[in-house]
């Protein structure tokens, strides 16, 4: 149990376009989901906490207008990178927790490449 699915796994797009990444909890309800960014050979940096039915909480330094998060249901959160530029290229990973607690269960990540 506790499977988190992330889609797409890899996306390449032109600079200036917007990209949506989905994170789904397949076999449990997740009131809270998390979005991380990981640069090559580095650790995960928390971008924001996504709460079902309310606004996301962004970490310091993360542009909320750039990285739009929607958590419309208990099984789905989306991250939209708006007007993406090459510096937004990265590996984005989501996680979800059952019952609002620990541990977090991670998706397989999305590799975003902006040309």
Partner 1 sequence: AQSVTQPDIHITVSEGASLELRCNYSYGATPYLFWYVQSPGQGLQLLLKYFSGDTLVQGIKGFEAEFKRSQSSFNLRKPSVHWSDAAEYFCAVGDNFGNEKLTFGTGTRLTIIP
CB of 101 to partner 1, least distance (A): 7
Q: Which is nearer to partner 1, 82 or 104 (CB)?
A: 104
CB of 100 to partner 1, least distance (A): 7
Q: Which is nearer to partner 1, 15 or 39 (CB)?
A: 39
Q: Which is nearer to partner 1, 5 or 82 (CB)?
A: 5
Nearest-angstrom CA–CA distance, 80 and 87: 15
Rule CB under 8 A: which residues touch partner 1?
A: 4, 6, 32, 34, 41-44, 46, 49, 91, 93, 95, 97, 100-109, 111
DSSP string, 36-51: EEE-TTS-EEEEEEEE
CB of 42 to partner 1, least distance (A): 7
Listed in sequence order, the residues at least 6 apart from 71 whose beta carbon sits closer than 8 Å to its beta carbon are 33, 50, 51, 52, 53, 54, 56, 77, 78
CB of 83 to partner 1, least distance (A): 26
CA-derived radius of gyration, the chain: 13
């Amino acid at each position: 149990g506790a499977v988190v699915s992330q889609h797409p796994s890899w996306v390449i797009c032109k600079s200036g376009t917007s990209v949506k990444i989905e994170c789904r909890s397949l076999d449990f309800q997740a009131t809270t989901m998390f979005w991380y960014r990981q640069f090559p050979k580095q650790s995960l940096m928390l971008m924001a906490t996504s709460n079902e039915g309310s606004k996301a909480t962004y970490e310091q330094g993360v542009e909320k207008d750039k990285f739009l998060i929607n958590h419309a249901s208990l099984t789905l959160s989306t991250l939209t990178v708006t007007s993406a530029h090459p510096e937004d290229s990265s590996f984005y990973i989501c996680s979800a927790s059952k019952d609002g607690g620990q541990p977090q269960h991670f998706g397989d990540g999305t590799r975003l490449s902006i040309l």
